[in-house]
Structure formats: structure tokens, C-alpha cells
Amino acid sequence: MFSIDKTSILVQKIMFFLGGTASCWAGYKITQGGFEWKKSGMFISYGEFKYPVALVFIVNGLLFIWYSFKLKEKEFAICPKCEEMVELHINKMPKCQKCKIDMEPLNGFYKEQ
Ligand SMILES: [Zn+2]
């Protein structure tokens, strides 16, 4: 009848979480003096700006991690009469455009799968 791609949500969650973790780690490394690659002898340091720069990295990382937890599957409403589905953007139930009756939340759909 219809399919909802759950995998892409999971992939996005993982990517945001890993990105956030990496950003926090980078922020921490900056407070410890900077990045150093021993093999190539490369060293990146932000000097006196290390704390503001580190703060940006850590805040950005935490936002990513927060978003990775907040990200969830889309919710849908369904018309009990014609089974028309619409995506829910707000908590208010929409009316079916065809039948002019209130739609119902599609709760429990994922659990039944
Ligand atoms: Zn309908």
C-alpha cells in the first residue's frame, strides 16, 4: 500500500551523532593545544583563540548529537474512510480533502510491521 523509508532516518541519525561526536572531540583537542599529526609533523593550533574556537566546535557537536536524538520517523494521519494519508507537520489533525472528515493518527503502524 505504502512504504516509508526507515533506513534513511537511521542513517541520518548515525551520521549526525558521529559528526557531533567528532566535532566535540575536535573541540576538546583544540583546548589541549591543537591537532598534531606525528607522522607528517603537521600541527594546527589556534593559539589564543583556542577556547572560543573549541567552544564553537563543542556547541556545534552537541547540537548535532541533540538533533540526532530528536530526528524521528515522519508521522502520518490517515482518513478512516478513503485511507488517504498525509504527513503530519503539527499536532493538529487535518481534515480529509475529499471526505471532509477528521483524519486519524497512524499510531502503531510501525509496531505492527
Ligand atoms: Zn477521506
Per 3-state DSSP, what percentage of the chain is helix, strand, and coil (rounded to 5)? Answer: 50, 15, 40
Q: Report CA(95)–ligand 1 centroid distance (Å).
A: 8
DSSP letter for each residue of 11-56: HHHHHHHHHHHHHHHHHHHHHTT-EEETTTTEEE--GGGHHHHHHH
Q: Report CA(103)–ligand 1 centroid distance (Å).
A: 8
Q: Report CA(75)–ligand 1 centroid distance (Å).
A: 17
56-65: pLDDT as tens digits: 999 999 999 9
31-58: pLDDT as tens digits: 988 877 777 777 778 888 889 999 999 9
Extract the C-alpha cell encoding 39: 607522522
Domain ranges within the chain, ordered by starting residue: 6-70, 74-113
Q: Report CA(94)–ligand 1 centroid distance (Å).
A: 11
Q: Report CA(105)–ligand 1 centroid distance (Å).
A: 13
* pTM to 2 decimal places: 0.60
